[in-house]
């Protein structure tokens, strides 16, 4: 989190180089306070570019799930619509119309049945969409408890410990007890047995993840749904299911169309997804959808009289640009089902081929191979003791690659892994280059170490 810094001599910039003397050249400019006077746009832009030049190359960032490349036509559309406030649906009705079309497209994609029954909204990202899904679960649980004359002071939410940090935030911000199924042995996410075991009358819902950020695997949503069906039959507990499809919601419909994880399962009440991940849009845009109006409590939706119109809104955020929604609709038009299928199948082909190549190197063991999301995780074999995955990550960074290394959560804290996310724009040639650099790093540097250097290790990972 950015913090205030004490001003000192490093707060000012030196005079720019003589090649810019033809422009209006200022004196030293402060970094941590606003300058007294104006600066020419050319110089201001150059200073900002100079600040950003040491950032990593986004195409080589294999840590992030977030889209790092879009077509020039999409970038132009986003620039042209960045001034449209998404919240002002009365002033920008066609932007609101595109949002509505996207919601209907996703409702159809996720098998909501009649698109007239499904209800949804765009958000700033999947984290906000997850928060909205969690709030709907909480409000519905409270309403049921009050109607039955029961207390509402001890709600809990059941998830695997592998969930994205936004669910931890939801539980802390809304005073909900998180019930986290730990990892055990080869099970690295929630399953039906664990989900049912953790539920009681205070459970507001279960969250199943379609695409774990730790290893790219899908949680068995259909199995979890069936276990909750059984729980209702045995104990009368009707626990709704929310699917966090931040990544998988834009992957599974195209390359695993027969996988039942969405509104085809009656227990699934809501779904969130990230348009700015495998929806192929620059950040930030997310989507939240509910099966029908009954799944979204009416008192969560505000009717706001804003700039001449009365509009409904359900969001944690208010003003935001409409450009990401426009870009999402552009992608739907531009790619269609065949285009999305081709992009994601291509990513998965690269992931499967790259994971197989890494397994053949010798020191590594795959945890996943990219068969679900085009994402996979791998660790060092137990017999490799003279270096760790953290040295491997640092060695790849010397070549420009950003490959995260981290330990798994409870009860597998002693397992440290590397993870690679394959996105649109990462092709087979780049994968071969990465494999070459990884092999060189091991053979020329790491294999010669007697023991791992005494450098602190990260203890978790929340991307």
Terminus-to-terminus CA distance in the chain, angstroms? 16
| pLDDT number for residue 44 | 86
**CA distances to 69, 208, 420 from 65, in Å:** 12, 19, 10
Asked if the peptide bond before residue 54 counts as cis, ω within 30 degrees of 0, the response is no
**With bands split at pLDDT 50, 70 and 90, how would you rate the model's confidence at 26?**
low
Cα 448 off chain centre by: 38
Specify the pTM.
0.92
Instruction: Name 58's Cβ contacts closer than 8 Å, sequence gap at least 6.
Output: 68, 69
| pLDDT number for residue 408 | 94
Q: What is the pLDDT of residues 342-401, one digit of tens each?
A: 999 999 999 999 999 999 999 999 999 999 999 999 999 999 999 999 999 999 999 999
Average pLDDT over residues 102-115: 88
Q: Which residue has the higher pLDDT, 420 or 12?
A: 420
| pLDDT number for residue 101 | 93
| pLDDT number for residue 19 | 58
402 in Cβ contact with 61 (< 8 Å): yes
Q: Where are the alpha helices (DSSP H) in 177-220?
A: 192-198
**CA distances to 80, 190, 235, 243 from 207, in Å:** 37, 9, 20, 6
Which of 317, 268, 256, 344 shows the shortest CA–CA distance to 121?
A: 317
Buried-state track 295-321, b at ≥16 Cβ within 10 A, e below 16:
bbbeeeeeeeebeeeeeeebbeeeebb
Cα 49 off chain centre by: 27
**With bands split at pLDDT 50, 70 and 90, how would you rate the model's confidence at 314?**
confident
Q: How many CA atoms lie within 13 A of 266 on its CB side?
A: 5
């Amino acid at each position: 989190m950015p913090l205030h810094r004490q001003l000192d001599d490093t707060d000012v910039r030196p005079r720019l180089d003589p090649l810019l003397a033809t422009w209006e050249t200022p004196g030293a400019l402060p970094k941590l306070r606003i300058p007294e006077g104006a600066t020419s746009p050319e110089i201001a832009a150059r200073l900002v570019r100079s600040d950003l030049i040491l950032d990593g190359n986004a195409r080589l960032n294999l840590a992030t799930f977030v889209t790092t490349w879009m077509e020039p036509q999409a970038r132009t559309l986003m620039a042209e619509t960045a001034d449209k406030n998404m919240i002002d649906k009365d002033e920008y009705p066609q932007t609101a119309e595109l949002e509505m079309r996207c919601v209907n497209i996703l409702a159809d994609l996720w098998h909501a049945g009649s698109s007239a029954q499904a209800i949804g909204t765009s958000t700033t990202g999947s984290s906000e969409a997850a928060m909205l899904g969690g709030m709907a679960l909480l409000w519905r649980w409270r309403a049921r408890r009050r109607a039955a004359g029961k207390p509402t002071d001890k709600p809990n939410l059941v998830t695997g410990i592998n969930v994205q940090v936004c669910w931890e935030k939801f539980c802390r911000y809304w005073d909900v007890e998180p019930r986290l199924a730990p990892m055990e042995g080869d099970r690295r996410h929630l399953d039906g047995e664990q989900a049912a075991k953790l539920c009681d009358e205070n459970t507001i819902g279960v969250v199943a993840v379609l695409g774990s950020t730790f290893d790219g695997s899908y949680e068995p949503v259909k199995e979890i749904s069936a276990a909750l069906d059984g729980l209702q039959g045995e104990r009368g507990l009707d626990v709704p299911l929310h699917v966090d499809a931040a990544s998988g919601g834009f992957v599974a419909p195209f390359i695993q169309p027969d996988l039942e994880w969405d509104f085809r399962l009656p227990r699934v009440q809501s779904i969130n997804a990230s348009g700015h991940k495998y929806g192929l849009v620059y950040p930030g845009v997310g989507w939240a959808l509910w099966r029908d109006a009954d799944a979204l409590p009416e008192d969560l939706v505000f009717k706001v009289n804003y700039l001449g119109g009365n509009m409904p809104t359900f969001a944690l955020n208010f003003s935001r640009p409409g450009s990401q929604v426009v870009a999402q609709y552009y992608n739907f038009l531009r790619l269609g089902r065949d285009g999305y299928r081709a992009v994601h199948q291509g990513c998965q082909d690269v992931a499967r081929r790259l994971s197989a190549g890494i397994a053949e190197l010798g020191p590594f063991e795959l945890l996943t191979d990219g068969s679900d999301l085009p994402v996979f995780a791998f660790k060092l074999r137990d017999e490799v003791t003279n270096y760790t995955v953290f040295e491997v990550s640092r060695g790849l960074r010397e070549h420009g690659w950003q490959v995260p290394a981290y330990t798994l959560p409870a009860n597998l804290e002693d397992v440290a892994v590397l993870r690679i996310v394959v996105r649109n724009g990462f092709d087979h040639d780049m994968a071969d280059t990465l494999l070459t650099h990884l092999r060189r790093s091991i053979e020329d540097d790491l294999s010669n170490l007697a023991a791992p250097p005494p450098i602190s290790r990260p203890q978790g990972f929340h991307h």
